[in-house]
Amino acid sequence: MTAASTMRSVQDALQDAAHWRADQASRQKAEQIEVDQQLAELRLSLANLQEKLAALEQFRASFDARGDELRKGEVQRAHDGIFEVLDAQRGALEGRSAELVAAEARRAAMLETVLAESDLASKLVEYKQFKQSVEPALAQMPESYRKVVLGHHEQVAAALRQRVAELTGDPVHAEGPPLTLDVVYAVDAPDGVPELLVVVTPVAAKALESWQDRPEDLQTRLAARVVQAIYEACFALGLEGVQVQSGGHRDLLAIEADVAGAPAGLAEELGRRLEAAFRGALELVAAKVTLTARGVHADQVLGLVDEEDDDAE
């Protein structure tokens, strides 16, 4: 009997190789599926993380915007607060101003009585006679006579004026309590270079209207001291051509000056000059008014400019 052939054939070898390959391929496929699955899971995780990252970055950016809103909010609150305070001070200043105008009028009215009882009584009589009877007829007089009459009258008037100046040498003193008021100033330098100087006062914006037609009052004098300080500061820094302008800002007197080209230090110089002008003003001392000059950021005085409007310009 022929033994069953146990020798493998080439076909067997080839089949073995094919089986091996199929087996390996199957294993690889399984591994590939597992790797693909892991990749998909990681990609999903990454997408989720990126989404979270974007959300957090957006939230983080909102803090910057909120910080800017906080800054703007503070500026606006300061602006409103400054003007509320100054407006309240305006009322007190108006009252003190009216008190002093009345007191000055009373003193002026008493002058005639005081002069009539003094060693200048006869000159007072001459003066009044001139004003009532002679002055209206001056134009009709011959020139030579008119000169003599006027010359004599001027001598009489000069003597009376000197006595009046002595009698009214001190400013009228206020009887009310001391007032402490503020004047707020700023130098606007949007690009770091000064452009505009502004001072806001507790003086009513309308206080200087028709100044020729009403008695001078404390409000006018306070404003004059502010203007004095502005010119002193500007001249000290070489800004000789500066011109102040005044107007109303929320019903309060604001005094401004174009200070383009001003050196740094203008705000500090202005602060010093304001303090000195107020301290040295006898009329303010007599009025029992103490003024404090407060330097602030320009936005707090001028208010915030609407950025949309700004862009539109």
Partner 1 sequence: MLSDLLPLGLTGAAARLGLEPFELVRLLVATDAMPRDLRFTTEQVDGLFARAALEQPWWDGVDLPEDKNPLRQRVRAALGLLLGKGFVGGEGTRIDNVCRGLPSEDQALIRDALVALADEGHLTLVPGRMGVRVTVTPASEGRVRDIAAGKSDTSALSVLYEG
Q: Between 74 and 113, how does the x/- string for binding to partner 1 read (CB under 8 A)?
A: ----------------------------------x--xx-
Minimum distance of partner 1 from residue 237's CB (angstroms): 12
Single out the residue of 11, 212, 308, 311 in contact with partner 1 (rule: CB under 8 A).
212
Stretch that binds partner 1, among 14-22, 140-148, 194-202, 232-240 (CB under 8 A): 232-240
Cβ 164 to partner 1, closest distance in Å? 5
Give me the least distance between CB of 50 and partner 1, in Å please: 60
Tokens describing residue 195 = 């452009």
Residue whose token pair is 């002026």: 108
Per CB under 8 A, does 127 bind partner 1? yes
CA distances, 114 to each of 154, 160, 173 (Å):
21, 11, 19
Which of 134, 205, 244, 276 binds partner 1 (CB under 8 A)? It is: 244
With beta carbons less than 8 A apart as the criterion, state whether 237 and 263 touch. Answer: yes
Asked if 290 interacts with partner 1 (CB under 8 A), we say no
Question: Is 208 or 304 the residue whose CB approaches partner 1 more closely?
Answer: 208
Instruction: Give the chain as a DSSP string.
Output: -PPPP-PPPHHHHHHHHHHHHHHHHHHHHHHHHHHHHHHHHHHHHHHHHHHHHHHHHHHHHHHHHHHHHHHHHHHHHHHHHHHHHHHHHHHHHHHHHHHHHHHHHHHHHHHHHHHHTSTTHHHHHHHHHIIIIIGGGGGGS-HHHHHHHHHHHHHHHHHHHHHHHHHT-SPPPP-S--EEEEEEEEEE-TTSS--EEEEEEEEEGGGGTTGGGS---HHHHHHHHHHHHHHHHHHHTT-TT--EEEEEETTEEEEEEE-TTPPTTHHHHHHHHHHHHHHT-HHHHHTTEEEEEEE--HHHHH-PPPHHHHHH-
Q: What CA–CA distance (Å, rounded) separates 227 from 229?
A: 5
| Residue of the chain from 66, 102, 211, 263 that contacts partner 1 (CB under 8 A) | 211
Considering beta carbons, is residue 99 or 283 the nearer one to partner 1?
283
Angle at 267 between CA 264 and CA 271, to 5 degrees: 145
Asked if residue 246 binds partner 1 (CB under 8 A), the reply is yes
- What is the C-alpha to C-alpha distance for residues 198 and 298, in angstroms, rounded to an integer? 8
Smallest separation (angstroms) from partner 1 to the CB of 128: 6
Question: Whose Cβ is closer to partner 1: residue 22's or residue 158's?
Answer: 158
Which of 281, 287, 291, 302 is close enough to bind partner 1 by CB under 8 A?
Answer: 281
CB of 70 to partner 1, least distance (A): 39
Rounded least distance, CB 293 to partner 1, Å: 17
Taking CB under 8 A as the binding criterion, the range among 82-90, 194-202, 278-286, 297-305 that sits at the site for partner 1 is 278-286
Q: Which of residues 134-193 bind partner 1 (CB under 8 A)?
A: 157, 160-161, 164-165, 168, 171
Among 67, 81, 178, 280, binds partner 1 (CB under 8 A): 280
With respect to partner 1, which residue has the nearer C-beta, 117 or 216? 216
The site for partner 1 (CB under 8 A) is made up of: 108, 111-112, 115, 127-128, 131-132, 157, 160-161, 164-165, 168, 171, 208, 211-212, 216, 220-221, 223-224, 227-228, 231-232, 235, 240-244, 246, 255, 280-283
